[in-house]
Amino acid sequence: MIIPLCLLIAVPCPVIGAGLVTGADTIRLEVGSSEVNGRVYAPHAARVRVHVGSLDTAPTAEWTNELTLGDSAGRPVMRWVTKGTRSGPNGGTITWELRQTYDAVTLAPYGYSAMSSNGSSTKLTLDGTRVRGSRRLPGDTAVQEVDVTLDRPGFVASASDLVPTAVGLKAGTVITAPFWSPAMTKAELRIFSVLGQVSVRVEGSDVTSWKVEERRYSDRQLLATWYLVDSSPYMVYGEVPLPNGQTQRMTEVAIPMSERR
């Protein structure tokens, strides 16, 4: 789970400004759109390290992702298991685990279950626009029931980098798609612009990847820059601008899958 380099390639660059997004191809997605093909994702495992500021600083968080494929009531599904640690706000280390189920073809979310050592937990079932389940925030003694109807279905915002690769990476492509996270009551439209192929340094190795910018549609704010490849680990590097002006940098490398597969 984040520099414009399109000038380095001999194709028209997407224009991303305060009021207009254009490109050689524009694909407007909804959850369930035929342009999305989640079959490109094979079972795999990967490890992510997160740094704030320079990659030379100690990681502030680390997690592993593992994808397995299966079947649920006759539907092909992805099952993602993410286990991680992060620095606590007052020192110490917080551990957490996230389990998600998506449609293996459309990436439509079906289930979202998270637990953390700080006492927080979220367990949600999604069916189109309907989101139901429970949530407990850190420090809460009572569990809050959740029953929300979104204005439109959304892809999972914390896994937004899955969408461009599932559509297909080609320089100049612009994709719009709605996204959802557990704190949202409305889906949020986002824009992905594929700028071209570049080389990026990832934990001592040079990796040829596709550079993709992710922006919020409403105000064109840059949310992340992803460096994607078409095989495990699929995302190799990411940059996320933080509110304080710093940049959160993520590296991702393939690791062996667990024996439970």
Mean pLDDT split into 10-residue runs, the chain, 261 residues: 29 34 73 98 98 94 98 95 90 94 98 95 97 92 94 97 97 97 96 98 97 97 98 98 96 91 49
Q: What is the pLDDT of residue 25?
A: 64
In 10 A of CB 75, how many CB atoms?
A: 14
Q: What is the pLDDT of residue 141?
A: 81
Reference 45, options 211, 215, 227, 234; nearest CA is: 234
Sign of the torsion formed by the C-alpha atoms of 5, 53, 233 and 204: positive
The pTM score is 0.87
Tokens 């509110």 label which residue?
243
Q: What is the pLDDT of residue 90?
A: 79
Sequence length of the chain is 261
Q: What is the pLDDT of residue 140?
A: 85
**What are the backbone angles phi and psi of residue 166, rounded to the nearest 5°?**
-70, -25
Say if CB 2 and CB 226 are below 8 A apart. Answer: yes
Tokens 């909804």 label which residue?
30
Question: What's the rounded Cα separation, in Å, for the pair 201 and 205?
Answer: 6
Tell me how far CA of residue 127 lies from CA of 46, 162, 173, in angstroms. Answer: 28, 20, 30
Q: What is the pLDDT of residue 260?
A: 61
Q: What is the pLDDT of residue 139?
A: 82
Tokens 């700028």 label which residue?
195
Q: What is the pLDDT of residue 55?
A: 94
Reference 79, options 185, 153, 148, 159; nearest CA is: 159
